[in-house]
Chain A
């Protein structure tokens, strides 16, 4: 079974997990994800890859604690084992020299967009990051972004030295104006953040790539749990995505489908906290 090399809290509710998976580390590209199971009875869940190290043979993911599976993951300790860790899944993000690219990231998306930030800079783009966090204390990997981006801005942050203290779309619209012409926007984070970003970039017609996060089971195109509509066509996020053009996504459907098991998820989590939590 794959070994957990590291698992630590980055900021409250957001954790990093590094798993020994040399084959995946040798193949991984920006935008891809893994499917894992926290223990033998756990659910299969997808997590975006936030970093990889072919030398250490490791894959790193950043995840938000929301349900039973992520609660179990957050309880893993370095040296522990994880029964299922499979990948790299999905199509890699398109990386080319586009010109100026704005990255809008929040929550786990700050981790998930990091490989694209690095690759886009290496491909010759002007890379501007807009990182969303409620406060300085909830922001992580700022240094990483500062090390490759031409500019790093912040939204939502209260009491900081930079940033308007306001959630997207306002800050994103300002960045787009200030950096014009912006060739594309990539937005990764909660569904709402991606939806708002895609809505904000529609009037100026800036291509906006989002990394969709529907419920998945197998992650290899076999079950269709992750289907979503893009440009009026049904797509499987696991094999056709996870990156999609945000202007083509049927967001209402995605919001509804992500809630498919909300009641069961709550029941499962309550049971875990009351009976099994270590």
Chain B
């Protein structure tokens, strides 16, 4: 659904990187430690809480780098003249620029450098799949085997700024008095809002739920992304002048046409992939079978882990099976463990090598005592006389020829059925674009998965002044790809408003 990653930087980005590269202090810093010495430094491991302690609560797993450790890690970066890492970043962060500021001990400036291109660095530093993006193409990885820990450094710089209490508000352009409506307060919407507010536009974000953040608040658990960090990033956007209206469902509370009548001139739809997929197997509607969206929303947004202090209950399982192999599956299974499951099991139809989850998440899950059943797929859920789940029947698979995604296709092994006793099944097999906006916006052109079609060069939809990005366009992708779409859309919305 998504177009190929954009690997070529545009001329403006190249010039921006070059200007930083040529600064005197950067030149001196490069000379101060020879490349050979830099390559000798080993990659620092992010400190984390012991697995046996952290799998009992919801506090954050990773502890962040100490300042000296961060400077040491930053020293590993060679400050390449043609930094490949930037081409691996969907929002083209000036990675050497901020990393060298860390090396120089200028941490607050490093955070500001990040925020030039990324309004939410504390979040991206935690949830981006750096190992398949910036860190995958890092020159140090090629030369010495281990990439510079760019994600850990991003997180460090953003956390340093926040904990220092001196979060800088960049200069905001004079008001243009142009009203922009952003639909959905997830990663895409928040990014568009931040970029356009900095350009002086009058931005309102409309959010259906009662808290801003989208998947960052309802989906990603506290142990991976503390809510206090999200809240700080959203406060930062508010200070930039962004208005956020929660409890407002665009399409139902007001349509895009209604908002146009109220004076909004441009729109960005970032309403996400909020339509959970189910397995379409018998017994799927038994009590005890939940979508990952529901399970995680109950725990995260509704604070179900704190039931009965918070009123929303969440199933507490003895044996929880989570179907799927992505990050959402890892979040769900680790949540089940933390809620007291004796066995929390991933059931995935391919093998470990094909799992789409981040390596770090799989690794953390293993440490925390999560079981993995590879090459297995559920065929039906079995219930008791009260309609409650008691077991799941699975079929073993083997890997056949590669499919369209390039991964080897799982092929069922006839007669290999087996049954496992479970009292919770969480379905984390992907989501489709939420149909609410497409259904209520006449003339909006859709793709074959119900996604909104855009011109990839501009993120413009088929309707004038209406742009879209993130999972409503891509189906189910990542936070950072949504933010990449958003940055491009923001630039084009600014151009559109300037006509």
Q: Which A residues are closer than 8 A to B by beta carbons?
A: 23-24, 27, 37, 41-44, 68-69, 83-89, 217-218, 220-225, 227-229, 234, 239, 252-253, 255-257, 259-261, 264-265, 267-268, 271-272
- Measured between alpha carbons, how far is A167 from B275 in the docked complex, in Å? 40
In whole angstroms, how far apart are the Cα atoms of A85 and B247 in the complex? 7
* Nearest opposing residue in chain A for B253, CB measure: A23
The answer to whether A27 and B253 have CB atoms under 8 Å apart is yes
Decide: A87 and B285 in contact? CB cutoff 8 A.
Answer: no
Give the residues in chain B near A255, CB-CB below 8 Å.
387
Contacts of A84 in B (CB 8 A): 210, 247
> What does DSSP make chain B's interface, helix, strand, loop or mixed?
loop
Q: Given B248, B386, B387, which contacts A86 in the complex, CB threshold below 8 Å?
A: B248
Cβ–Cβ contact B249 & A220, under 8 A:
yes
Q: How far is the CA of A9 from the CA of B293 in the complex (A)?
A: 36
Instruction: Return the CB mask of B39-57 against A: 1 if under 8 Å, else 0.
Output: 0000000000000000000
- CB-based contact A224/B210 at 8 Å: no
B209 at the interface (CB under 8 A from A): yes
Asked if B276 is at the interface of the complex by the 8 Å CB criterion, the answer is yes
**Is the beta-carbon distance between B285 and A27 smaller than 8 angstroms?**
no
A180 to B248, CA, bound (A): 44
Q: How far is the CA of A234 from the CA of B218 in the complex (A)?
A: 24
Closest Cβ–Cβ distance, residue A144 to chain B (whole Å): 26
> Contact partner of B294 among A27, A87, A223, CB < 8 A?
A223
Given known A69-B311, A86-B247, A261-B313, contact A253–B275 (CB-CB < 8 A): no
Interface size bucket, B side?
Answer: 35 or more
Which residues from 389 to 437 on chain B have a C-beta closer than 8 Å to any C-beta of chain A? 434-436
Residue of A27, A83, A221, A228 ringed by the most chain B CB atoms within 10 A: A221
With a CB–CB cut-off of 8 A, which chain A residues contact B435?
Answer: 221, 239
- B249 interface neighbour in A69, A87, A217, A261, Cβ under 8 Å: A87
Per the bound structure, the CA–CA distance linking A227 and B303 in Å amounts to: 22
Partner of B387, one of A23, A69, A228, A256: A256
Task: Assess whether B253 is in contact with A223, with CB atoms less than 8 Å apart.
Answer: no
B residues near A257, Cβ cutoff 8 Å: 285, 287, 387
Which partner residue on chain A sits nearest B254 by CB separation? A23
Kindly state whether residue B252 has any CB partner on chain A within 8 Å: yes
Q: A83-B210, A86-B208, A260-B287 are in contact. List 9 more A-B contacts (CB 8 A).
A: A37-B210, A68-B311, A69-B311, A89-B252, A220-B249, A222-B274, A256-B286, A257-B387, A264-B313
Which residues 286-315 of B have a CB within 8 angstroms of A? 286-288, 290-291, 293-294, 297-298, 302-303, 307-313
A222 and B434 form a contact (CB under 8 A): yes
- Cα(A86)–Cα(B436), bound, Å: 15
Check if B388 is an interface residue, CB within 8 A of chain A.
yes
> Is B278 interfacial (CB-CB < 8 Å)?
yes
Q: Does B284 contact A (CB under 8 A)?
A: yes
Docked Cα-Cα span, A232 to B313, in Å, equals: 29
